[in-house]
Structure 1
Amino acid sequence: MTLQQQTPNIDELIDTITPLLARQDLITLTGVLTPLSTSEIVEVLERLNLKQRAIIHRLLAKDRALEVFEMLPPALQSDLFTGLQDADVSRLFAELDPDDRMWLLDEVPAVLAARLLRGLPEDERVLTAGLLGYRQGSVGRRMTPEFVTTHVGMTAAESIERVRARLADAETVYTIPVLDHGRRVAGIVSLRDLLGADPDAPVEAFMQPAHTSEATEEAEVAARMCTDLRLLALPIVDSESRLIGMLTIDDAVRILEHEESQDAARQGGAEPLNRPYLSTPVFTIVRSRVVWLLVLAVGATLTVQVLSAFEATLAQVTALALFVPLLIGTGGNTGNQAATTVTRALALGDVRPRDILRVLSRELLTGALLGLLLGAIGFGIAALVFAPDMGLVIGLTLLAVCTVAAAVGGIMPLVARAIRVDPAVFSNPFITTFVDATGLVIYFLIARIVLHL
């Protein structure tokens, strides 16, 4: 039997589980769930409604229930709380790591968040409250306060003993900060280095330089540093460079996935769902799209106003109307390409707002070259079908529109970052609307000049 044949089909599981839930056949349902892996149960839960998820979660063994809960998106964790008993909710919340609690607290209503915090043991409440003190979006809200450290002057053997003492509660033990007497990070040692070193060797003899990030830094920036440098964990420090937490690689990847999902949604003119599509209520999907559609509809009135202003020009040369979709479509696509490229470069740290003039010059040249190529093709087709002067209008317009669209699309994400707005918000939908209006103005002005209208 092949591996593919051994792996359960999620659709078949849903078809099996749904009737059992409807009949409340909990004994058979438990038998179906028992052999499934944690990831398979998560996939099943993501395709069910709120009530069904709560029933299945209650049937899981205590340890399995926690594993499944930890793997669910925070939005589904919040939903699941409404279907569980208070005792189950308190137990699950208390067993989460402090940084995982923060993802959940950002999703649940404020009243429930306060109740969850009050139900924590004193030591766990102190740890979680410390993270809550940082603003949303900062890495301080995503770091773990449970980690292992060693100190300059300590030996490898003493450091290993410190690791053993924290194995039960530390979230990461593979990257160990070396602190000086002021709790500042003097360097980093790995668990591998400790195990391979002479037991009596001081850790400062083989520690490596440390990369750190301040707790107030944007979580995406710190996460990008962690992944770019291939670190298992990144030390997080306060304004006085004292160690206060660690950003682990799994949390860094989670942050980047979350940010990229947001960017992808906003570039398409919608708000991110933050949960699997099939488990998202239709009303939530509508709400994530309607505001953007209204904003873009208002913006599109600019295009209507431009067409109205040049109505007389269109009446004199009706052929001009035939090329309107081509020109505004090409301009919008050119601007979107530039915006997507620069937004991605911003996320990777390849460009910064101070590079705006360099980006502008590159996009002006890129847009001009694209416009020359497309304009030459447009000139040939329009001249052949209509007349050479009409071909000249189309060719010049494509050159101008591509140049303007690329320049605007390239600098808008940088302007957004400079004013601390999500660059994705300034991307495709707004650029398309802007370029549509300006492209038509350029088109009709060129037509008036060339055709002597």
Structure 2
Amino acid sequence: MAEGERAEELLDLIDSNDLTGIRLWLAEHRPYEIADELSRMDEGHAIIPFRLLDKDRELEVFEELDPSQQQGILLGLRDHAFHDILEQMDPDDRARLIGEAPAKIATRALAGLSPSERRMTAALLGYPENSVGRYMTPETVILHRDLTVGRALEVVRARGADAENIYTLPVVSDGRRMVGTVALGDLVISDDNRLLKDVVDVFAPRVRASEDVESAARLMQEANLVALSVVDSEERFVGMLTFDDALEVIEAADSEDMARQSGASPVGDHYVSVGVFRLVGARAVWLVVLLVAATLTVNVMQAYEATLEEVTALALFVPMLIGTGGNVGAQSATAIVRALAVGEVRVRDLPQVLWKECRVGFMLGLTLAALALGIGSLLVGTLIALVVACTVIAICTWAAIIGSAMPLLANKVGVDPAVVSSPMVATLVDATGLIIYFSIARMILGI
């Protein structure tokens, strides 16, 4: 059954108050499918099927929802159910929920937790927003380097049920000083009498709890890690960043970059559940900024008004030229933003990137100029066509340089590279491209 049909079926059951039908529907679908359908509904509809979930599936569905959606569900629950769900959540998921919730919900949530869960949650909330500390789990099985493999496996069996991840195990020395990690598989196949310090991977990557979580998630992706050790400023082990949380961080970061590259602010929530006014607010600000920036193009056109009056045929190619320049610049900017995100380029690579994109832009310009020269000669004559062809080469080269430079320079000064990518680059190339066009026209046509 298609997703849309699933949602309509569940909504029909809710509207008809068919509680038996809702229970059957819930029993036939997986937790992530149920969460997806709930995220498409308003809070009034979503709370009905959620309350009918079995206790053992309730938490699974809840943890599949985004924090804003979780808040809506919590507001519809009675105190007992409210606190029961929060108590069962993983500490890192609970900390992110409380960290994003209004003060009223956060206070109510913390007050109802058991002392041990409250301490863990408070410790995670003490780290900066978007830091690794907010996303790591403190519920891990910690092994001392002096244990034997056999004894280490006994510890895993005894404590593993309460840990979020046991596939990558932290190994510490006295005072919880981080030594390295050991894979569960390596323990299983090693001799029981062998010392743990002889099988530990001392070169396993680790990050500080205060570091940016997106950078840590990208490191996990690059190194193919199931979990990443997290330490404090004194190299003491404090938790693990697991792959499921890393995937969510990368997905959120990529979604944010896509929104900014299209000239909009990220919304974050499920598209279907977001209101019209919120979407307008997310897009209007950047459209206003770009509209103001586009006045540069108007000013350039006004400055070269006399040139246009003398050779009116030049006006025919303005949309084509600024459109081509904007497209080339957007391609370069998108490529560099993506390369920055996955760690393929760094700010210090700027000269190498500019030289490469300069050549790419020039070769693209030559290809498009040959086409423009042929078509232009048929429409307006050889001389004007030559102006257009030369301009295409110059604009493509210039746009590629601008498109590749702006994200790197933005990253250097601490601005999100996606903010200055496609729309902003296109707007800048429009204005400067017209200056290039009319300057070449004056030189070739002698006007």
Give the whole-Å Cα distance in 2 for the aligned partners of 1:146 and 1:293.
45
Pairing partner for 1:358 from 352, 362, 369? 352
Q: Give 2:171's aligned residue.
A: 178
Out of 8, 33, 46, the position equivalent to 1:15 is: 8
Alpha-carbon separation, structure 2, partners of 1:101 and 1:314: 64
1:406 is matched with which residue? 400
Deviation at 1:441, TM superposition (A): 1.2
Looking at structure 2, the residues matched to 114 and 295 of structure 1 have their Cα atoms a distance apart, in angstroms, of 39
1:1-27 C-alpha deviation (Å, 9 max, x unpaired): xxxxxxx44333333322332232323
2: distance between equivalents of 1:157 and 1:192? 13
TM alignment of 1:24-423, pairs within 5 A: 24-209=17-202, 210-423=204-417
Unaligned runs of 5+ in 1: 1-7
| TM score, norm. by length of structure 1 | 0.94
**1:201-221 CA-partner distances (Å, limit 9, x unpaired):** 101112223211112221111
Cα shift at 1:106: 4.1
TM-score, with structure 2 as normaliser: 0.96
Once residues 159 and 270 of structure 1 are traced to their aligned partners in structure 2, the CA distance between those partners, rounded to angstroms, is 51
After superposition, the C-alpha distances for 1:28-78 in whole angstroms (9 at most, x for unaligned) are: 322332222212212321222221001111111122111101111222212
1:173 Cα deviation from its structure 2 partner: 0.9
Q: What one-letter code is carried by the residue in structure 1 that aligns with 2:337?
A: T
The alpha carbon displacement at 1:233 in A equals 0.6
1:306-348 CA-to-partner distances (Å, cap 9, x unmatched) read 1111111111111111111111111111111101111111111
Distance (Å, rounded) in 1 between the aligned partners of 2:102 and 2:273: 19
Q: Deviations over 1:243-280 (max 9, x none)?
A: 11111111111111111111111111112221221122
**Cα gap change, 1:220 to 1:91, in 2 (>3 Å):** same
In 1, are the aligned partners of 2:99 and 2:125 still within 8 Å (CA)? no
For the 8 Å contact 1:78–1:107, the answer to whether it is kept is no
State the alpha-carbon separation in 2 of the partners of residues 336 and 409 from structure 1. 6
- Residue-pair matches, total: 446
Cα distance change of structure 1 residues 372 and 13 upon mapping to structure 2, 3 Å threshold? closer
The two structures, once aligned, show a CA RMSD in angstroms of 1.6
Q: Percent identical across equivalent pairs?
A: 47
CA contact (8 A) 1:310 1:444 kept: yes
Structure 2, unmatched stretches of 5+, are none
Any idea what the Cα deviations from partners look like across 1:186-206, whole Å, max 9, x if unmatched? 222111121222222101112
Question: Conserved in 1, the CA contact under 8 Å of 2:333 and 2:403?
Answer: yes
Q: Partner amino acid for 1:96?
A: M
Distance, in Å, in 1 between the alignment partners of 2:72 and 2:402 is 41
Stretches (4+) displaced over 4 A: none
Partner AA of 1:97 in structure 2: D
Distance apart, 1:431 and its partner CA: 0.6
Structure 2 counterpart of 1:5? none
The AA in structure 2 aligned to 1:383 is: S
Question: Structure 1 residues 72, 160: CA separation in 2 closer, same or farther (over 3 Å shift)?
Answer: same
